[in-house]
Structure 1
Amino acid sequence: MSILILSDTHGLVREVKEVVERHKAEMVFHCGDYCVDHQREPFSGMKLVKGNCDFPSDVPTERKTSWKGLTILQTHGHLFGVKSSLLRLHYRAEETGANVVLFGHSHVPGCAVERDILFLNPGSLQLPRGYDVPTYAILKKVEQKESAVVVQVTYYDHKGKVAPKLGGTFSLRS
């Protein structure tokens, strides 16, 4: 199975529901700035974190989740200054023992591994930056080795087509 990662949908509901129904992922992570009632479908079934444009007091600003040998740290990113550097977010990942970090805020899709930790920003379904079309991502666990976990990240555009030049296969510490 896989996990679906969204961020910065800024009020979109129909489009988010279409993405969720299209992929039937095991879990759905939204990295903040959903800007709607988080108790309505499809948001009520997601692992949410609060972005700088979200105001409910019962949604955390970060979340740690274990999934198939991965430790996932999820945050929006505004509290870690991700538009200028991932350094503070990297320190937080090390503090929490995460080997995957999901974040948004910049609206720029991208993923990379640094010191065996995958940093993944799914981009934005509403206001894309740094890429031609709105994006989201799917993460699949491919292989479990003795000292590593291999994952595949695939990015999609808002219509469900694979977004070229984004994603890849990565080996992470287990």
Structure 2
Amino acid sequence: MGILILSDSHGLVGEVKEAVERHRAEAIFHCGDFCVDPGRDPFSRMLLVTGNCDSPSDVPTERQTAWKGLRILQTHGHLYGVKKSLLRLHYRAEETGANVVLFGHSHVPGCTVERNILFLNPGSLQLPRGYDLPTYVYLEQTEAKEEGVTVQVTYFDHRGNVAPRLGGTFFLRS
């Protein structure tokens, strides 16, 4: 079983609930701009971070989570200038010892490994950019060894179909 990752749903509830119900996940991460009451189902079951469009609340702007050999840094991205560059976010990942960074803000789906850190943006369920369909991600650990872990990143569109040309398999050193 893996983890589900969403971002930038901007008030959608039904579509988010459908995505959550579609997959068995050990944890559900939302990378901000959920724009609804964080106590509302299904958001109340998620690990949330606040985005630039979310109302002030007790939801943090950043979260660190350990999961199956991964050290995950989760943020929205607006405080790190992710629309211009991942450099500031990369520095923060190194400061925290993260080997996976989950972020949103740009609405552009993508994942890449830079200096042994997986940067993963699930895209947006509400306003996709850089891809023709709304997207979210399911991440699974497929192998664990002493020297690191292998993960499979699968993007899905809003209807639950695998999104072509996105995702992949990545090895991350421990």
TM value normalised by structure 2: 0.99
Describe the superposition over 1:104-143 as per-residue Cα deviations: whole angstroms up to 9, x where unpaired: 0000000000011000000000000000000000000011
- Note the 1:38-117 alignment, pairs <5 A: 38-117=38-117
What secondary structure sits across from 1:94 in the alignment?
A: helix
Counterpart Cα distance in 2 of 1:136 and 1:84: 22
The CA deviation at 1:57 is: 2.5
Could you tell me which residue of structure 2 aligns to residue 162 of structure 1?
A: 162
Give the length in aligned residue pairs.
174
Secondary structure, counterpart of 1:26 in structure 2: strand
Between 81-90 and 139-148, the greater mean CA deviation after superposition: 139-148
Distance 1:13 1:56 in 2: 19
Q: Which residue number in structure 1 is paired with residue 150 of structure 2?
A: 150
Structure 1 segments (4+ residues) deviating >6 Å: none
Percent identity reads 79
Gaps spanning 5+ residues in structure 2: where?
none
In 2, the alpha carbon distance for the partners of 1:87 and 1:57 equals 28
Q: What runs of 5+ residues in structure 1 fail to find an aligned partner?
A: none
**TM-score of the pair, normalised by structure 1:** 0.99
User: In 2, distance between residues paired with 1:57 and 1:31?
Assistant: 15
Q: CA RMSD in A?
A: 0.5
Match of residue 14 from structure 2 = 14
Q: Which amino acid aligns with 2:59?
A: V
SS at match of 2:25: coil
